[in-house]
Amino acid sequence: MIIIFISILLILFIFYLYKYNEPKPIIEYSIKFTHDKPYNNDRLIYAYNYNLDNDQFITNIFKKHNVDSKLIYFYDNLFKKQDKYELIYGIDKKTNVSKLYVTDMNALIYGVEKRNNEYSMRYYRGDEYFRKKELDNFIGLKNSTMFYNLFNVKNNSVVYKKYDQSHNYKLNSYHFNFENYKINDYKDNIKKLLQFYKCNVDNLDSWLEKNKNYYIYWIGITKKDNVEVTIYYRKNITIQ
């Protein structure tokens, strides 16, 4: 009996270790709208915000997602020893672009992107004093005002600015955080914004219907030849 009892405890202990080291991510999807191409809804990230000082846990994350070996090399040499509270792996299935990010204890986000077998660095910096005037200058007053009005953007909104190596670390997009914005409640606002920016909205209604019960977490505004919009969304209101 004692041997059986010890065996059961050992099995339970091994199971606990396995479950503890099994990565369980927050999943966030995103859809990108541009002027001249159909939308890209094949983008998603896996975010981990626990157990990040456990090397075996990190290794398990990389194995689970089959992370590119050179992205892992960058992580080991740039981010491994950094104090961080979040690790993010992103993949764009349509373009075969992959990205690896870490968020440090000051909420700065650093990342590496792999695109066409080339690698580039980027970072996102939060701006707690962000004001609409800055977006006015970036995409124009009318474009900025339309976005603010449709999504009720406040002066104290969480906003991140993106800088990447491919643009010589010049600011190239803003990312606005939202809470409890159910897609179904904002479907008309989404359509109005995209049409105002002259984005390609082919098949937009089907996407809105399919994802009507998901929640917007971020909206990214990028300025190239035209304004581009990326909507980041999740299944749940709160992080699980």
Residue 156: predicted pLDDT = 85
**Residue ranges of domains in the chain:** 23-232
Long-range interactions of 124-132: CB distance < 8 A, separation 24+: 124/160, 124/161, 124/162, 124/163, 124/175, 125/160, 125/161, 125/163, 126/158, 126/159, 126/160, 126/161, 127/159, 127/160, 127/161, 128/158, 130/155, 130/157, 130/159, 130/174, 131/155
Q: For residue 188, what are its two tokens?
A: 């008309």
Alpha-carbon span 232 to 33, nearest angstrom: 12
Amino acid 236: pLDDT: 81
What's the token pair of residue 113? 């992107």
Q: Return the closest-CA partner of residue 44 out of 61, 27, 58.
A: 27
Consecutive 10-residue averages of pLDDT for the chain (240 residues): 54 48 85 96 96 94 97 97 95 96 96 96 95 96 98 93 94 94 97 97 97 97 94 76
Position 138 scores a pLDDT of: 97
DSSP assignments along 154-185, one per residue = -TT--EEEEEEGGGTT-EEEEEEEEEEEEGGG
Predicted confidence at residue 22, as pLDDT, reads 63
54-57: Cβ within 8 A, 24+ apart: 54/21, 56/21, 57/21, 57/23
